[in-house]
A and B are shown apart, each in its own frame.
Chain A
Amino acid sequence: MTGDDYILQADRLHKSFGRRAARVHVLRGLDLSVRRGEFLAVMGPSGCGKSTLLHVIGLMTPCDAGRIVMNGSPVAPSENARNAIRRTQIGFIFQRFNLLGVLSAAHNVEVSLKVRGLRADGRARELFEAMGISHVMHRRPGQMSIGEQQRVAVVRALAHRPAIVLADEPTGNLDSDNADALLDLFRKINLRENQTIVMITHSAEAAGRADRVVHMKDGRIID
C-alpha cells in the first residue's frame, strides 16, 4: 500500500497540557493511518485521549511532536497552514452539533461555506434533501429536534466536499433511533461518495458499523 492510498497519516504524535507538575501527557507517540474512503472508528475509555487525537488530526490544536500527512502532504505546524487545510479538507461533526444558534439551518451551512471562500452550488440543498431535513432549512437549531440538528451538522460537515470527516461522539446525544439513522447515513455517504470518516465513539454498536475499529489506551493506539 502506498502513501497515496492514505488520506491521513499521523506518526509519533505527542500532545501535553498544563505545565510542570500539572502537566498531563495525553498523546504519547500515537501512530494512526486512515485509508482513503475508509470509515474508521476510534474507541477507548474516557480520558485515553480520543478527543485530543481528533483535535490534533483535525488541526484544531498543534501537536508537541510528531508528523501529520494529510492527503499526501505533510502539514506545516503554522496556524495558517493548519487553518488552510482545515478549511478545505476537513469537516467536523461534534457530539453537541455546535450549530450557530442565531442562524437558520441553511444559514449555518452557508456560513461554513462562506468561511471557506465557497459559494453554494446546489450541493447543500441536495444534502438537506438527502438527509430528509429540507423542511427545517429555515428553522433555527432551537426549533429543531435533536436528530434534525445532528443531520444539519452533517450537512455542514459535508457541504464543502472535505477529504475527511472527523466525528466526535456523533451519537452521544442521540436516542437509539436517531443514532441508528445517523450511522446509516454515515455508511451511505461513505459508500456512495467514498467519503473518509473517522469517528470517535464509546459505543461498540456504533463502532460496529465502521470498516475498521482501533482502540486507544493511555494516549496510544493499541490495536
Chain B
Amino acid sequence: MPGLFREYGKMVYLPLANILQHKLRSALSVFGIAIGICMLVTLSGLSRGSFNEVADRWESVDADLIVYPRGLGDGAITSSGAILSDRYAGMIRAEHAKIVQRVVPVFLYPVRLGGQDQLASGVDPADFDALTAGGRLAEGRLFDPHGKFAAWLENELSKDSGKIFDPSQEQLAKPGRSGLELVIDSRLARAGKYRLNDTVTVAGHKWKIVGIVPTGAMSRVFLPRRAAQFLFDDGNIARSTLLFVKLRDGVAPSDAAADIKATIRQEVVPLEHYRQMLMSKIGVMFTYVDIVNAIALVIAFLFIMTTLYMTVLQRTREIAILRSCGASNEFILRQVLQESAILAALGAAGGVGMSFAATWAIETFKPLLTVTITWEWIAIALGAAATGSILSGLYPAWRATRVDMAEALSLE
C-alpha cells in the first residue's frame, strides 16, 4: 500500500474525501468565504489606502503649520472655499518674521475632473513649489508663470469704475496672461487621458492644461489662486481657505503654533497633526467599512455552518460507523472541524487572491482610487477565517457527536 498509511494523509483524507464528494456545495462554501475575505481585504485596503494616499500628499507639503479659521474644529481640514482672510498671511509675515520663513495661502475648491471629485488647490505661482515637492513638472509649464494674470486681475479690481467687473471667458483666457490654466498630476492625467494643451471644463469655465506634475503633490489639480478666488468667491480676491506656514530651522512647530495662534486668533496646528485630524473627521468611515466586512464574514461563515450542518445530517450513518469503531467525540469533532478548516483555508486563499484581482480591476478601471493591500490585513483576514472556521464548525461538530449510532446503523 504505497503511501497509504502516511500520517499526514491519515489526518485529513476523510474530510478531504467528503469535500470532494460534494464538489458543488464545497465550491459554493469556498466561494462564499472567498467573497467575505476579499471584501475584508479589498475594502479595508481601499478605505485605508485612499486615506493614507490623501494624508501622504498633504504631509508632502513643504510647511510646518496649517492655519485655518477658528470654530471649524477638525472639519476645517476638509473645508473649501473662501473662509480665511488673506490679511492673516500678512500678519504672520509681519509679526512672526523671526520664526516664519514662508506663508503660503491656498484656496481649495472642489472640482470634477477625471470622472471624480477633486479638491483643487488655488496657489500663487511663486508658492507652487511648496505644494509640489519643489515644483518640478513632469511636462509643460506652470500656470501664469510671470504673474501677469494676477497683476491684471488685481489692477482691474482696484479700479473704482462704479461697475461690476465681469470679464468674459475670452478676457480671462487671453493669450499671454491667461488665468484659466491648470496643472494636474500625472495620475489624473493618466486616469482622465489628459494631455498638455487639452481644454477641460471646470466650474463652468474652459481651462487649458498647461503642466503635469508628478504624482504625490498635495492636490491632483492646481490653478492660479487669484483665478480661483475671483471665480469661486463672487468676484473677491481677499480670502483663501487656509495658510501653510514654513518655519525657520530650529523652531518647534508646537511652540510656533501657540505663538501665531495668540496673534491672529485663528486655529494653528502643526502639519504633522493632519493625519490625526483627518482620521477624527472621516475615521468613522473605517467603522462602517469594518462593520460591512464583519457582516460579510458572518454571512460567509453562516453559509459554512449551514453546509456543514447539512453534511452532518446527511452523514449520520458514516458518523455512526466511525463511532461503532470506537471513534471518540474528539475524533468526530476533529473530522468536522478539519472539514470546516479546509473549506475556510481554501476560501481564505481564494479570497486573498481575489482581493489582488479586485485591486488590479479597481486600479485599472478607477485609477484614481488607491487600494493598499497590507500583510497586516491579510493576516487579519486569515485570522478571521481561522476563527470563523472553528466557530462555524463547532455546532455541526457537536451535533455529529450526538448521533445515535445504533439508530443510524439500524436504518437499513
Residues of A at under 8 Å CB distance from B? 51-52, 55, 58, 60-61, 80, 83-84, 86-88, 90, 92, 94-96, 98-103, 106-107, 110-112, 114-116, 119-120, 124-125, 137, 156
Q: Pick from B13, B14, B327, B406: contact of A61, CB below 8 A.
A: B406
Nearest-Cβ distance from residue B65 to partner chain A, whole angstroms: 69
Q: Is the CB of B317 within 8 A of A98?
A: yes
Q: Is the CB of B326 within 8 A of A87?
A: yes
Q: Pick from A61, A95, A96, A116: contact of B325, CB below 8 A.
A: A116
Q: Is the CB of A60 within 8 A of B1?
A: no
Which of chain B's residues 15-55 have a Cβ closer than 8 Å to chain A? 17-18, 20-21
Q: List 6 A-B contacts (CB under 8 A).
A: A61-B405, A92-B324, A98-B324, A107-B4, A107-B17, A120-B4
Complex Cα distance, B9 from A120, in Å, reads 13
Q: Knowing that A96-B412, A101-B21, A110-B5 are A-B contacts, what are 17 other residue pairs whose CB atoms are under 8 Å apart, sorted by A's residue number? A: A55-B406, A60-B323, A61-B406, A80-B328, A83-B323, A83-B328, A86-B324, A90-B326, A98-B320, A98-B324, A99-B321, A102-B20, A111-B14, A119-B5, A120-B4, A120-B5, A124-B1
Closest A residue to B10 by CB, please name it: A114
In the complex, chain B residues whose CB is within 8 Å of the CB of A119? 5
Complex Cα distance, B1 from A137, in Å, reads 9
Given A61-B406, A107-B4, A137-B1, answer yes or no on A86-B14 (Cβ-Cβ < 8 Å). no
The 3 A-B pairs with the shortest beta carbon distances in the complex, nearest first, are A87-B326, A102-B17, A55-B406
Nearest-Cβ distance from residue B100 to partner chain A, whole angstroms: 77
Q: Pick from A83, A98, A106: contact of B4, CB below 8 A.
A: A106
Per-residue CB contact flags for chain B residues 73-111 toward chain A (1 = under 8 Å, else 0) read: 000000000000000000000000000000000000000
In the complex, chain B residues whose CB is within 8 Å of the CB of A95? 412
Nearest-Cβ distance from residue B86 to partner chain A, whole angstroms: 78
Q: Is the CB of A110 within 8 A of B406?
A: no
| Interface-centre pick from A101, A115, A156 (highest chain B CB count, 10 A) | A115
Nearest-Cβ distance from residue A167 to partner chain B, whole angstroms: 13
In the complex, chain A residues whose CB is within 8 Å of the CB of B410? 51, 55
Q: Say whether B165 faces chain A, with CB atoms less than 8 Å apart.
A: no
Closest A residue to B412 by CB, please name it: A96
Complex Cα distance, B13 from A10, in Å, reads 38
Q: Pick from B10, B20, B326, B405: contact of A110, CB below 8 A.
A: B10
Q: Is the CB of B409 within 8 A of A60?
A: yes
Complex Cα distance, B410 from A86, in Å, reads 18
Per-residue CB contact flags for chain B residues 321-340 toward chain A (1 = under 8 Å, else 0) read: 11111111001000000000
Q: Say whether B259 faces chain A, with CB atoms less than 8 Å apart.
A: no
Residues of B at under 8 Å CB distance from A? 1, 4-5, 10, 13-14, 17-18, 20-21, 317-318, 320-328, 331, 404-406, 409-410, 412
Nearest-Cβ distance from residue B316 to partner chain A, whole angstroms: 12
In the complex, chain B residues whose CB is within 8 Å of the CB of A110? 4-5, 10
Q: Is the CB of A88 within 8 A of B17?
A: no
Q: Is the CB of B318 within 8 A of A100?
A: yes
Complex Cα distance, B320 from A61, in Å, reads 12
Q: Pick from A60, A84, A103, A114: contact of B324, CB below 8 A.
A: A60
Q: Is the CB of A116 within 8 A of B322?
A: no
Nearest-Cβ distance from residue A38 to partner chain B, whole angstroms: 22
Q: Is the CB of A83 within 8 A of B10?
A: no
Complex Cα distance, B157 from A217, in Å, reads 118
Nearest-Cβ distance from residue A95 to partner chain B, whole angstroms: 6
Q: Is the CB of B18 within 8 A of A102?
A: yes
In the complex, chain B residues whose CB is within 8 Å of the CB of A52? 406
| Interface-centre pick from B18, B20, B322, B409 (highest chain A CB count, 10 A) | B409
Q: Is the CB of B409 within 8 A of A98?
A: yes
In the complex, chain B residues whose CB is within 8 Å of the CB of A92? 324-325
Q: Pick from B5, B13, B320, B327: contact of A103, CB below 8 A.
A: B13
In the complex, chain A residues whose CB is within 8 Å of the CB of B14? 100, 102-103, 107, 111
Q: Is the CB of B1 within 8 A of A120?
A: yes
Closest B residue to A166 by CB, please name it: B324
In the complex, chain A residues whose CB is within 8 Å of the CB of B17? 100, 102-103, 107
Q: Is the CB of A125 within 8 A of B1?
A: yes
Closest A residue to B14 by CB, please name it: A111
Closest A residue to B15 by CB, please name it: A102
Complex Cα distance, B327 from A35, in Å, reads 27
Q: Is the CB of B21 within 8 A of A102?
A: yes
Complex Cα distance, B398 from A194, in Å, reads 39
